[in-house]
Structure 1
Amino acid sequence: MRTRIVLALSGVVVVLLGTPTPAWAHNSLRAATPAQNATLTTAPTQITLDFQQRIDPAFTTIVVTDASSRRIAATDPVVTGATGTARLTETLPNGSYLVAYRVVSADGHPVQGSYPFTVADPTAPQVAPPTPAPAAAAAPDDRRWTWLAVAAGTLATLAGLVVVTLIGRRRRARPAR
């Protein structure tokens, strides 16, 4: 009987730890145009963000701000698969800009981040150097929560197996009436 329990528990652990799910690999930004920390000689007309997995169009936000945190006018993002694009509706003068984004992946996990770029068009009028944009806070590492969920699920499964085994033993130990 103990051998069966050990084999059953081992099987459950192998299945829980060996089964990949979408939450194991959260989405992340693969590429961006303009690129992070890029210095452009021509102002961009759109922002394009390419993620590793599909993103939900209903929950995709792309915002561009200048060095004084003023929001740059842009269209709502258009999403195709894993790519989101927002068209800028005003011309960017020389200066520093911050692209901030928030998307929801196919697995339901929100992903957010930001990065800077600079416009330095030599033919544009020169402006006073802007105050650098504040650095964005790093997103917390969600992997610890994934492992906590896996551990809790494993413990719940093991507890369930123990309860089922104990109930089975009690039923066999009772005399028939």
Structure 2
Amino acid sequence: MHYTHRRARFAARALVVPAALGILAAGAPLAAAHTDLDSSTPVAKASLPDVPESVTLTFSDPMDQKYAKVAVTGPDKKPVAQGNAQVDGKRVTIALASQAPAGLYSVGYRVVSADGHPVSGSYTFTVQTQKASTSPMASASETPTAPSTPPTPAAGAPAASDSGGSTGVSTAAVTAAGVLLAAGAAGYLILRRKRISRDH
């Protein structure tokens, strides 16, 4: 009888151990789950009209600022990122130079989540045109200035000098005629008085 109880206890233990191992095995994938890149801005293989102000990567877990590394290179294989990547929870953002050339851009990242999971990867996007820098001084200098021309007098209108000259000539002629008439009248009166005095 005692032997039978011992066999029953052993059988129960033999069933409990595999069950516990099954529970641990079921929980293992959750504990070993990797952090993934959920989204990016700009997205992979995007075609943009100009260079974006920044690249933002959003992960499935919060990131560690100390280990957030992001590199962005332009079509000339030169880096176009400015400063260091900035972490805001699950998002990692890095600013880009706005005057970078058009072409194919490559984004590479290697980050570590707050709980120690490393994540790395890369993708590309395309920029169609380059942002043109506009300067107010350049715009002003490039604007042609129309030459200033003196106003043209209306057709048929006499020039100011000609009008003044004509007026001066007319006035002088009238004055001379008046003087001659006065002199003639005075001479006629003198001759008439002399004749009257002779007759008497």
TM-score class, shorter: 0.5 to 0.7
Contact persistence 1:44–1:92 (CA under 8 A): no
2:74 is aligned to 66
Equivalent residue in structure 1 for 2:99, among 75, 88, 91: 91
Structure number with larger C-alpha Rg: 2
Cα distance change on mapping 1:78 and 1:121 into 2, 3 Å: same
1:69 to partner: Cα distance:
2.5
Q: Name the aligned partner's letter for residue 10 of structure 1.
A: P
> Deviation string for 1:96-125 (max 9, x for gaps)?
11000111123311100000011002876x
TM-score normalised by L of structure 2: 0.56
Equivalent residue in structure 1 for 2:35, among 27, 41, 49: 27
1:81 to partner: Cα distance:
0.8
1:77 to partner: Cα distance:
1.0
1:80 to partner: Cα distance:
0.8
Instruction: Report the Cα distance in structure 2 between the residues aligned to 1:122 and 1:102, rounded to whole angstroms.
Output: 28
Contact persistence 1:45–1:91 (CA under 8 A): no
Equivalent residue in structure 2 for 1:43, among 41, 51, 54: 51
Contact persistence 2:44–2:123 (CA under 8 A): yes
Cα distance change on mapping 1:53 and 1:11 into 2, 3 Å: same
Structure 1 residues 115-124 or 99-108, which shifts more?
115-124
1:90 to partner: Cα distance:
4.6
> Deviation string for 1:29-73 (max 9, x for gaps)?
111111100010021110111111111111111110123432224
Q: Hey, which of these two has a bigger chunk of helix by percent?
A: 2
Report % sequence identity: 35
Q: Secondary structure at the match of 1:12?
A: helix
Structure 1 residues 16-25 or 108-117, which shifts more?
16-25
Gaps of 5+ in 1: 125-177
**What is the Cα-based RMSD across aligned positions, in Å?**
2.1
Structure ranking higher on relative contact order (CA contacts 8 Å, 6+ apart): 1
Contact persistence 1:55–1:103 (CA under 8 A): yes
1:151 is aligned to none
Q: Name the aligned partner's letter for residue 113 of structure 2.
A: S
TM-score normalised by L of structure 1: 0.62
Instruction: Report the Cα distance in structure 1 between the residues aligned to 2:30 and 2:115, rounded to whole angstroms.
Output: 6
Following TM superposition, the consecutive aligned residue runs of length 4 or more in structure 1 with deviations greater than 6 angstroms are: none
Number of equivalenced pairs: 124
Gaps of 5+ in 2: 1-8, 133-200
1:17 is aligned to 25
